[in-house]
Structure 1
Amino acid sequence: MTMSKQNYIESLLRELLIDIVERIASYSLKNLMRVKLSSSVLNQVANEPSVYQKVILLSIPVFIWSCSVVRRCTSFLEMCRPLGNLEALYRKGVYEFFKRSDSNGLGILSQAADGGHIGASYVLAIISIFNGDESMREG
């Protein structure tokens, strides 16, 4: 008797499935979406918070021109940010600080930098240098 592909996936440990889907998410957003569409079990696993922490956002453009794309991308980024996705935090922090002149952007950038986002660390250092005084020495 041969085990079907669906039964085989369901027989794997959930922790192993989560690890596999996290790795897929960290390499390709497109492949993560394909995994979500492949089965209901993998769709459930792909909705784990740890997967959204690791999802790579390179395929989402930084500058978005179309209104319909803006809404979809923004809602996806807003879903990733509270779950600790460093790239989503970095983008939100840069947007808030430079576009809106909101000092909360520095806190968001700091959160991304504390998590290990190199770009956020760099931007915080440059901001500190340009602020002068004590923050210039920190930068």
Structure 2
Amino acid sequence: MAGSSKTNRKEGNVPVEHECPLNLLPRDIWVRIATKVASNSIHDLFNMQASCKVFLDAASSEVVYQHVTMRVIPLMSFLFYLDRPERRFIDRCVEAGNVDAILRQGLTEYFWIARRGIGMELLSRA
């Protein structure tokens, strides 16, 4: 039996006892779970993404970014994230249609950066 599993690994076939049990649930269930996690805590979402490939795939869905909570990110901090990963995260939330991220980005554009046109467009979207 040990020889057969060794042969399977060489061929690229993974024996049933070595498959990830997380793959037993469909992806949409994991996306729903990731959405609940994201709506409660960004830190937990990042921990979920870092834990395994199944969670990374589910937590990277557009639906998850629509529901991410922004309450732990101070409003003023949007100005300090210009070239950092946080900026890309916030931009992805805005692109996904996260209302809180759109509102914060609109306020930043309108009041602090003084780009009134873009700011008003984002505020009306929110």
Same fold (TM over 0.5): yes
How far is 1:13 from its partner? Answer: 1.2
When residues 101 and 19 of structure 1 are mapped into structure 2, their CA distance, relative to the original with a 3 A threshold, is same
Is the counterpart of residue 94 in structure 1 residue 107 in structure 2? Answer: yes
- Aligned counterpart in structure 2 of residue 81 of structure 1, from 94, 106, 114: 94
Q: Give runs of ≥4 in structure 1 deviating > 4 Å.
A: 65-70
- Among all aligned residue pairs of Structure 1 and Structure 2, give the percentage whose two residues are the same amino acid: 28
Is the counterpart of residue 35 in structure 1 residue 51 in structure 2? Answer: no
Give the alignment's TM-score, normalised by structure 1. 0.69
- Aligned counterpart in structure 2 of residue 103 of structure 1, from 117, 121, 125: 117
Larger RCO (CA under 8 A, 6+ residues apart) = 2
Q: What's 1:25 paired with?
A: 38
Bigger Rg, structure 1 or 2: 2
Q: Aligned residue pairs: how many? A: 109
Moved more, 69-78 or 13-22: 69-78
Gaps of 5+ in 1: 113-139
Q: Structure 2: which amino acid aligns with 1:90?
A: L
Give the match's secondary structure for 1:103: helix
Gaps of 5+ in 2: 1-16
Q: What's 1:14 paired with?
A: 27
Preserved contact between residue 78 and residue 108 of structure 2 (Cα < 8 Å):
no
